[in-house]
Amino acid sequence: MAQEGDPETDLSAAALPVLYSFRRCPYAMRARMAIAVSGQRCELREVVLRDKPAELLAASPKGTVPVLVDVDGRVIDQSLDIMLWALRRSDPENWLRPSHATLDEMLALIAECDGAFKRDLDGYKYPERQPVPDAEASRARGALFLMRLDELLQVRRCLHGDLPALADIAMAPFVRQFAQVDAAWFDQQPWPALHAWLRARLEAPMFEHVLAKYAPWRSGQHGIGFPSARAGAASSSGQ
């Protein structure tokens, strides 16, 4: 866990965009991944969702993470928009330009993940929160989407080429959550390509970097310089 005096806390005098984040949130994970690979420096403020700081709520009253406040005051409070904001500044691994898809095609697949698949994930993981709880039905519907991904991955190692791109990074945290609900069941499914893809995403050094633990931010404190210097040696490929 980073502490005062660590390199991560040594922010330059220049103003930096502020990123409100929560380590385990899949939306925040994918935003941090894009920021890290782009090399765009931010002031990371790790928040506790049950005790949201007033500054976060002032920037985005909906109170979810991630939220990015740019140096000009512009607020971006959708994770995919934060990813695009970072990658349009610097995209050294060509996440916006994979070998076998356009950006629009990637965004369409991500929309399926963020829409129907996310609803099925929530129904599977949190059946008690649903009007009509049916975890098995939610799992079955989510599995149909994962089967489609497995078919894509039988052709290439990643969703739109042999190297990870925007869709791989944006969707992996949600596939990870689905897999964790019942790991034994997930491991038994006949999806070898999907299993290999997810394992590669989770074992990539960049993923480990963005899951680093930081102390919760408090008003009046400095945030954490993100990404750290160590991120420069971390590759997202994980092949």
Residues 26-41: pLDDT tens digits?
Answer: 999 999 999 999 999 9
Rounded CA gap, 45 and 226, in Å?
A: 10
Average the pLDDT over 77-91 and give the result. Answer: 98
Rounded CA gap, 223 and 188, in Å?
A: 42
List where CATH 1.20.1050.10 sits in the chain.
103-205
Q: Which two tokens stand for residue 107?
A: 């965004």
CATH number of 103-205: 1.20.1050.10
Q: Strand 67-69 relative to strand 75-76: parallel, antiparallel, unpaired?
A: antiparallel
Instruction: Say whether pLDDT at 66 is over 90.
Output: yes
Which one is the CATH code of 7-94+206-233: 3.40.50.1370, 3.40.190.10, 3.40.30.10, 3.40.50.720?
Answer: 3.40.30.10
Q: What is the pLDDT of residue 232?
A: 52
Q: What is the pLDDT of residue 5?
A: 35
153 vs 15, residue with greater confidence: 153
What stretches of 157-230 adopt beta strand conformation (E)?
224-226
Q: Angle formed by the axes of helices 166-181 and 79-87, to 10°?
A: 150
Is the separation of the CB atoms in 196 and 150 below 8 Å?
Answer: no
pLDDT, tens digit, 9 for 90 and up, residues 164-218: 999 999 999 999 999 999 999 999 999 999 999 999 999 999 999 999 999 999 9
Per the listing, tokens 């596939």 go with 175
List where CATH 3.40.30.10 sits in the chain.
7-94+206-233
Q: Which two tokens stand for residue 156?
A: 């290439």
